[in-house]
Amino acid sequence: MPRNRPVIGISCYVEKVDRAPWVQQWSAVLPHDYVHHVEAAGGAAVILPPRLDGDDHLARDLLGRVDGLILAGGADIESSRYGAPPHATAQNPRPDRDSWELALARVSHAVDLPTLGICRGMQVMAVAAGGAVEQHLPDRVGTEAHCPVPGRYAAHSVTPVAGTRVSEILGAAPLDVPTYHHQGVLADSLDHTAYRFSAWHSDGTPEAMEDPGSRFRIAVQWHPEAGADARLFRALVASVP
């Protein structure tokens, strides 16, 4: 009998969508690039819509039915989740996503479920562990290199840290990645956690983190789903027993 495909849950958006003849219909949506990469890596994708009543008990029940998890990109986490006032550039809060994805992050860590965080997903994982977010990178780095044009992915170089799981997957040489973010994990906010940073931008922005004690727990600040490099998705699916 052929091996069953690992089931990978992916968090998603709830947005108003125009779908003729329907206009501004509330919909659970996700860029199909996520699904494509999971399926191409040998997994089966299921979408996990956000919910305001999401708690750790419900997250534990749901995550017991999947083999891996992707925490997807999206809007800024509400700054109150890490005890900070909002920056002037902060996007409108998404309390359903924040509540649900923070629960998914906590529980997936507790049960050692293979997990890949992408962009917002990296920030969710950091905040769930007690970290914080740098709310507007241009204030520190002085450029818009991480998100130069609204609605369009850019590219910049990141350098994996030798000896990390990220470098095992992607190599230790600098590589160009798709990017679209104005926030990032605050570099010194994870010192008390199990995470270590495993890739950096030259301007000092953390671009990846991982938990060396977990089976597979990696997060990247860039958007691998928007590019052709599928190695992180293949590694996630391959980590499932």
| Region of residue 164 (left: phi > 0; alpha: psi -120 to 50; beta: else) | beta
Report how far residue 126's alpha carbon sits from residue 44's, in angstroms, rounded to the nearest whole number: 26
Strands (E), 54-95: 68-71
Nearest to 159 by CA among 167, 169, 148: 167
Which helix (H) or strand (E) element contains residue 200?
strand 196-200
Report how far residue 43's alpha carbon sits from residue 26's, in angstroms, rounded to the nearest whole number: 28
Report how far residue 30's alpha carbon sits from residue 15's, in angstroms, rounded to the nearest whole number: 10
119 has catalytic annotation: yes
Catalytic residue among 119, 146, 201, 210: 119
Catalytic residue among 37, 109, 146, 223: 223
Catalytic residue among 78, 101, 134, 225: 225
Asked if 130 and 136 count as a contact pair (C-beta separation under 8 A), the reply is no
Residues labelled catalytic: 119, 223, 225
